[in-house]
Amino acid sequence: MQYLGLEFYKLKRRHVFLTVLALFLAETFFILYSAYRSAARGGTAADLPWENLLMQIALLNGLFCPFTLAVAASRVCDVEHKGDTWKLLSCCSERMSSLYSAKFACCMILTAAAQAIQYFLYAGYGFAAKYPGAFPAEKFLASYAGTMLINVGVLAVQEFFSMAVANQSAALVAGLFGSFLGFAGALFPDSVRRIFIWGYYTELAQARTVEINGKWTLAPVAVNWEFLAGVLIAGLLIYGIGKHRFAQKEL
């Protein structure tokens, strides 16, 4: 907890949370505008607005989450790179593994808080737009929890790049690559998309388009928690490998 508190102290006046929140609010604007336009056109999106909104969230999360996590990890890890304080910390007998864990936890807390605000805005918009039917609280919680599980794996990759390479351009390029895979993954076959951690955001759509009697509609799809558990395990393995390599690295 001491290391985590110091990480937040080092971020004072760096506006990292506001940066993360701004990126997620930009995503929120695109999603809500798309939901508004879809409902205005009528059809399935107007008949099942909550399902359409959840599907939009899953698709756009694949685009925005990887890059936002890359920005967060870069900003948090760049503090030591810019100040060149690695050797100073090691001379003070600070545990590098604890520092690595604190930075990871700091990024996850910032992201979880920003996305919690984001999901409250989604729900508030649905109520303000008077979406028909009961509010699908369970589906929204599943979407949020699933997003956090995938974020663990994506952040593990991003922190590895941000801690290993002083030039944060490499980490940001990796984030952009992840955003491409996360967004375009919806077009890939399931067997290909599930190779990449970034492609799992689409699994949280909880609906898919199907043709019934010549008419396209949305059919509910349950979240496959087994796949998401696999993503979490893979993320923890990447995190553990990165943490071990960093702790053993000569600074």
* Residue 99: per-residue pLDDT: 83
* Residue 198: per-residue pLDDT: 92
| Residue range of the domain that includes 237 | 2-248
Number of domains in the chain: 1
CB 231 within 8 A of CB 197: yes
Structure tokens at 134: 């009961």
CA distances (Å), 236 to each of 49, 52, 91, 194, in order?
A: 35, 32, 29, 17
Amino acid, res. 112? A
Kindly report the average pLDDT of the chain as a whole number. Answer: 85
* Residue 81: per-residue pLDDT: 65
- Kindly report the pTM of this predicted structure: 0.89
Task: Give per-residue pLDDT as tens, 57-67.
Answer: 999 999 999 99
* Residue 194: per-residue pLDDT: 85
**Least confident stretch, 76-80, 137-141, 157-161, 169-173:** 76-80
114 Cβ neighbours under 8 A, 6+ residues apart = 17, 20, 21, 24
* Residue 251: per-residue pLDDT: 54
Query: How far apart are alpha carbons 163 and 86 in whole angstroms?
Result: 11
Query: How far apart are alpha carbons 1 and 127 in whole angstroms?
Result: 39
Question: Who has greater pLDDT, 249 or 52?
Answer: 52
180 Cβ neighbours under 8 A, 6+ residues apart = none
Q: Say whether pLDDT at 159 is over 80.
A: yes
Task: Give per-residue pLDDT as tens, 16-31.
Answer: 999 999 999 999 999 9
* Residue 83: per-residue pLDDT: 60
| Short-list 147, 126, 143, CA closest to 45 | 126
Strands 215-220 and 207-212: antiparallel
CA distances (Å), 186 to each of 29, 138, 181, 192, 249, in order?
A: 21, 23, 9, 10, 38
Q: Say whether pLDDT at 7 is over 60.
A: yes
* Residue 45: per-residue pLDDT: 58
Question: Who has greater pLDDT, 120 or 50?
Answer: 120
